[in-house]
Structure 1
């Protein structure tokens, strides 16, 4: 991260763009003073420094704010009418920026099982995406797991060599929450 005296002259010069980098030029949000930096994309990047050194100003008020602003701008006029317009951060240029999410520094969740997915509330959407659009693979064979008709299952079982062992799994209870000690005891 570097500070420079004048960002206007550098902004007029053509810059070579590297798609592997998030490039910030002339960031002046809050206590940032014409900060330039290049951040590798698709990597875990950590900002460290003393309190008041500009970590949050850079991460939240510059990079995240510009990512959100660009995302909102990309929506249709109809969708934008329901959202508040965001101000452009005080920065000359940001290249290589993808849509962004942020997690509050002081989260109110005290649950030790909270994850980035649950805190950002994206977990349910990802689970739905994986269930509907994903293709599960067998960890044992590496082959895709596909649904089968009853007759396909019978044919596969009958094709097994004599004496072969197999697991036969089936749902015992559907559509009911609770404990099933009694039902499970009946099977043991």
Structure 2
């Protein structure tokens, strides 16, 4: 089933010999093998190249002019492929606290996405948090029993 798997048929990029591969999606997958066995050809030159090519192809003509289009890899078909990012072993930062998000610089975009689209929830009760007018805030505070301690949070 293509929704659960990434299916590669007839990969012949570089030293790959018309191989078929099924990889689980939404899982950490390691490709191992002897030196020269085609690990990088499969991961970078076939799967990543096709994912990146399809992604760039889906953009507007205006956006495509700023990006380098990758050549179609020598493969019969790839099913279940999502847009892909690649981190080459040589690209890693010397900072031991680096993550995939910081190395690829996607972390800042995800922060913005969650800040704009995300819906905050109370960490205690799980209910959604919504903005309130001054009158609503005063009404809730006045409804508290006398002597109740509370915190007022506001942007600076």
Q: TM-score, normalised by structure 2?
A: 0.90
Structure 2 counterpart of 1:113, from 97, 108, 127: 97
**Aligned-pair distance for 1:170?**
4.5
- Of residues 98-107 and 71-80 in structure 1, the stretch that sits farther from structure 2 once superposed is 71-80
**Displacement of 1:137:** 0.8
Structure 1 residue 68: Cα displacement: 0.8
The residue that corresponds to 2:47 in the other structure is 63
CA RMSD of aligned residues (A): 1.7
Q: Is 1:162 aligned to 2:141, yes or no? A: no
Structure 2: how far apart are the matches of 1:71 and 1:46?
23
Q: Provide the TM-score with structure 1 as the length reference.
A: 0.76
| Structure label with greater radius of gyration | 1
Deviation of residue 20 (structure 1)?
1.4
Cα shift readout 1:28-86 (whole Å, capped 9, x = no counterpart): 11221111111111122111222222211111110000011111222223333333332
Structure 1 distance, partners of 2:44, 2:135, is 57
Q: Is the 8 A contact 2:92 2:103 kept in 1?
A: no
Matches within 5 A, 1:1-188: 18-170=2-154, 174=156
Shift in Å, 1:113: 2.0
Paired residue total = 156
- Deviation, 1:125, is 0.9
